[in-house]
Amino acid sequence: MAGELTGTGPIKRGVVRLIRSNGPFEPPLRGGIHERLASKREKYPFIVYSPVSAPFVRDNGTAVDGGTREIRMLMDISVLASNQVDADNIDSTLDRLFSDQEEALGALVDGQTVILCHRVGDTPAGPDRDEEGRYYVQKGGTYEIWTVQPIPLPGP
């Protein structure tokens, strides 16, 4: 609803929308995009994103403007693929997609203004085997996304 404070939901939805709006990945994301966990039956490659932390910073502002709330989110975004080359290619695409893309992501985050968006580190994971014995590689990064939104004034 307009004029209400929102939490991290709009940021997570914006991240997924930005990934989906990228156009075709090479190779295609056969297993889709998932928050935290994916079904063990998912087809490779697929993306998993996980919010790490998202502290709220409040600027008390004034009685006239209501102030602002800033959310400083850290999010891990990883690709799981059946081979290293696919994992590297998709991870590179994600890195480019989120590198200093405040405006592009901001257009997709409802009710908040994105003021920072970039990759701050890699989240390495070696090759492994899933529950069905299939080989996979996980590659990804931690992304820092900061948003700000006005704190609505209390009603009469």
Domain ranges of the chain: 9-150
Q: Would you tell me how many other CB atoms lie within 10 Å of the CB of residue 136?
A: 19
Cβ-based neighbours of 20, under 8 Å, separated by 6 or more: 33
- Across the range 136-143, mean pLDDT stands at 94
What number is the average pLDDT over the span 131-136? 84
Q: How far is CA 123 from CA 3, 21, 44, 101, 142, in A?
A: 37, 24, 19, 20, 6
Higher pLDDT, 5 or 86: 86
User: How does residue 61 score in pLDDT terms, banded at 50, 70 and 90?
Assistant: low
pLDDT value for 134: 82
72 pLDDT more than 90: yes
CB 33 within 8 A of CB 47: yes
pLDDT digits (tens, 9 = 90+) for 101-131: 889 999 999 999 999 999 999 987 777 888 7
Convert the pLDDT of each residue in 30-47 to its tens digit: 988 999 888 778 889 999
Q: Which of 110, 117, 112, 107 is closest to 145 using CA atoms? A: 117
- Which pLDDT score is estimated for 156? 62
Least confident of 17-21, 133-137, 152-156: 152-156
For domain 9-150, the CATH class is alpha beta
Cβ neighbors of 36 (< 8 A, separation 6 or more) are 48, 49, 50
69/65: higher pLDDT: 69
